[in-house]
């Protein structure tokens, strides 16, 4: 299955928090989108692996993505080495995305910055035909995504561009709230974590509002880039 966009997250819920509005919009425009979670989030303070598995499946249904896979890397302990790069390369060659979305370049959680560099490096390496990989017994062809964009997470990183997600904030919110074990609920008896507060949930909404305010729309999501963006004409810029 060839995808237009493949989004990677260190943990289940990273993609939903960072770029689910963009994903929902692109799907509405006819794009095929998939998500690859690197870990199952087994070190998370709240919930369990089994709960997070079911929550990620629900979020995938809400977003309407074409496929979701989990690479079962070790939460907290995966590294940017050949073995982990090859896992990513196999997914890139399997789905041949034009665009890859991945974790923030730096963040409060150490896995986010690690995943960002791991996926970015793997996107480059995936285009080298002398790196040979097989999947289900078949040799894979080299493939390098045309563009790699990094979504924004906990830290207030200044975006290089934003995507207007007006009309898709409700789907974004619903996909996030699919992870009921992870976020604020006044009825929860679970320990309080930085993302399990009312303030954090509200911050997702007002950050999207603020990015939107800066470009004259209701809601937007921000991204950083690894190389300059190019447009055919000044009129292409919104």
SS3 (DSSP) at 139:
strand
pLDDT band per the 50, 70, 90 thresholds, residue 184:
confident
Find residue 139's DSSP bridge partners.
134
**Rounded to 5°, angle at Cα 48 from 44 and 52:** 85
Q: Tens digit of pLDDT for each residue in 115-154?
A: 999 999 999 999 999 999 999 999 999 999 999 999 999 9
Give kind and range of the element (H or E) at residue 99.
strand 99-102
Number of domains in the chain: 1
What are the residue ranges of helices labelled H in the chain? 14-28, 49-63, 82-95, 110-125, 169-177, 198-215
Tell me the CA end-to-end span of the chain in Å, nearest whole number. Answer: 32
pLDDT reading at 238 higher than 90: no
The CATH number of the domain where 60 resides is what? 3.40.50.10320
Query: Could you tell me the pTM of the whole model?
Result: 0.96
Per-residue pLDDT averaged across 231-236, rounded? Answer: 89
Question: Average pLDDT in the 15-38 region?
Answer: 98
pLDDT of residue 220: 98
Using an 8 Å Cβ cutoff, are 7 and 23 in contact? yes
Tens of pLDDT, residue by residue over 31-66, are 999 999 999 999 999 989 999 999 999 999 999 999
HEC profile of 136-191: CCEECCCCCCCEEEEECCCCCCCCCEEEECCCCHHHHHHHHHCCCCCCCCCCCCCC
Return the structure tokens found at 41: 């989030």
> Domain of 35?
5-236
Q: Given this model, what pLDDT does residue 234 score?
A: 87
Residue length of the chain? 238
Q: Which residues are bridge partners to 34 per DSSP?
A: 6, 67
């Amino acid at each position: 299955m060839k995808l237009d966009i493949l989004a990677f997250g260190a943990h289940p819920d990273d993609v939903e928090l960072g770029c689910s509005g963009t994903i929902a919009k692109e799907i509405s425009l006819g794009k095929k989108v998939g998500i690859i979670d690197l870990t199952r989030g087994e070190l998370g303070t709240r919930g369990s692996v089994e709960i997070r598995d079911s929550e990620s499946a629900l979020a995938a249904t809400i977003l309407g993505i074409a496929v979701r896979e989990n690479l079962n890397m070790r939460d907290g302990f995966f590294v940017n080495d050949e073995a982990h790069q090859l896992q990513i390369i196999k997914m890139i060659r399997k789905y041949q995305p034009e665009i890859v979305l991945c974790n923030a370049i730096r963040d409060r959680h150490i896995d986010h910055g690690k995943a960002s560099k791991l996926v970015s490096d793997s996107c480059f390496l995936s285009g080298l035909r002398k790196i040979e990989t097989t999947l289900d017994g078949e040799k894979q062809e080299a493939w390098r995504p045309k563009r790699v964009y990094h979504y924004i997470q906990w830290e207030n990183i200044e975006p290089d561009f934003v995507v207007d997600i007006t009309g898709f904030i409700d789907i974004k919110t619903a996909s996030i709230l699919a992870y009921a074990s992870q976020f604020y609920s006044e009825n929860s008896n679970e320990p309080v974590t930085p993302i399990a507060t009312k303030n954090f949930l509200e911050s997702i909404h007002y950050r999207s509002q603020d990015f939107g305010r800066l470009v004259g729309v209701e809601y937007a999501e921000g991204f950083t880039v690894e190389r300059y963006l190019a447009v055919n004409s000044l009129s292409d810029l919104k």
